[in-house]
Amino acid sequence: MKNQNILKTVTALAVIIAVFTLNSCKKGDENGFEEITINIDQSRIGNEFVEMNLKFKFNPPKGWLLKPTELTEKIVSRQNTDKPAGDSFIYKPLYVFFSDSTKGILTLGTIEKNDSLKTPIQIQRYQDELTARFGKENIKIKNFIKDKIMFSQLTITKQSIITKKLIFKNIDGNYLQFDYTLQKDILDLEEKAIESSLGTLKLVK
């Protein structure tokens, strides 16, 4: 009888542990964020860029230089013109970095709601709209945490162009977006530079 009671107790504990483990795994799957470390190749990054209004700093890929305000304004104008009607969000590029050698381009700016209610941004809804715009078959989504910053990365492939969209929040709770765009045939050449650039991104107060 004593052995049976022990067996029942062990079985019950095993069931509790199994349920707890399944719930823990499920929670991780729902969040979908994994913590990563990015190795930075100092030879592949340029000078540090600090934006105190948006409260971040980073190093662009080496050779990707900040372009004049006039070019940024043209990109913003084109972004607003090309944006399909009915979208709930507007990405507003504020800075543009460009590589003369590889023609890679980096735009960085803010994500804003396209309505007057100013309800909180739901990042999943933004991802859904981007997926609908570019096509599910053309997008890969990866969520990760680096230096306590939660990122959503959308890699978009269309014809000969590939874009990596990095979406995250600054310490004020505002959503920011980095778009690294380049030709697919030079991805191998610039991928380590882009990865190193992302690895330098930090929030500032």
Average pLDDT over residues 39-49: 96
| Tens digit of each residue's pLDDT (9 = 90 or more) over 125-165 | 888 888 888 888 899 999 999 988 999 999 999 889 999 99
**Is the pLDDT score of 167 beyond 90?**
yes
Q: Using DSSP, state whether 9 is helix, strand or coil.
A: helix
Q: Which residue has the tokens 């190749």?
A: 41
Q: How far from the centroid of its chain's Cα atoms is residue 20's Cα?
A: 31
User: What does 83-132 look like in DSSP terms, one character per residue?
Assistant: SPTT-SEEEEEEEEEEETTT--EEEEEEEEESSSS-PPP-HHHHHHHHHH
C-alpha to C-alpha distance for 107 and 31, rounded to whole angstroms: 27
**Under 8 Å between Cβ of 104 and 90:** no
pTM summary value: 0.76
Domain boundaries 35-203, CATH class: alpha beta
Closest to 201 (Cα-Cα) out of 155, 141, 153: 153
Burial class (CB in 10 A: 0-12, 13-18, 19+), 153: middle
